[in-house]
Amino acid sequence: MRALGIDLGEKRIGIAVSDSNGKVATPIQVLVRSKSTKQDHNKINELVNEWEAEIVVVGMPYSLNGSKGSAARLVEKEVEKLSDSISVPVTIHDERLTTVIAAQELSLQGLDNKRQREVIDQVAASVILQSWLDNRA
């Protein structure tokens, strides 16, 4: 089962995809937010179709104590809209510390801060997706 992983940010949306067996997540791109959420969701749906994804996994930014803060409530509302505008099921997955993990991975690869900022959202999406894939196994 191929899955698309998403890290919804205020300015950028990180995108990752799994292999067709649903085992390995790979970062693929960062979408810069447009002024229209609907347009952003259309781009996500295009990626769902392009990659033939069967499910979309969205990172949920719970607080460290597991509660839903303002960021989680915003993502929850957007996930509802996204579910209505794309052709496959949408699920959420805990994304606590994924950006920290992504930054550590990029630092280990020797990327400077400027280059990290360009790709961190897609790497965070792959961390979210990989965690979801691993939990399913």
Sign of CA dihedral 3, 51, 128, 67: negative
Give 121 or 25, the one with higher predicted confidence: 25
Task: Please determine, for residue 37, whether its predicted confidence score (pLDDT) is greater than 80.
Answer: yes
Q: What is the reported pLDDT for 95? A: 85
Task: Please determine, for residue 133, whether its predicted confidence score (pLDDT) is greater than 70.
Answer: yes
Q: How confident is the model at residue 63 (pLDDT cuts 50, 70, 90)?
A: confident
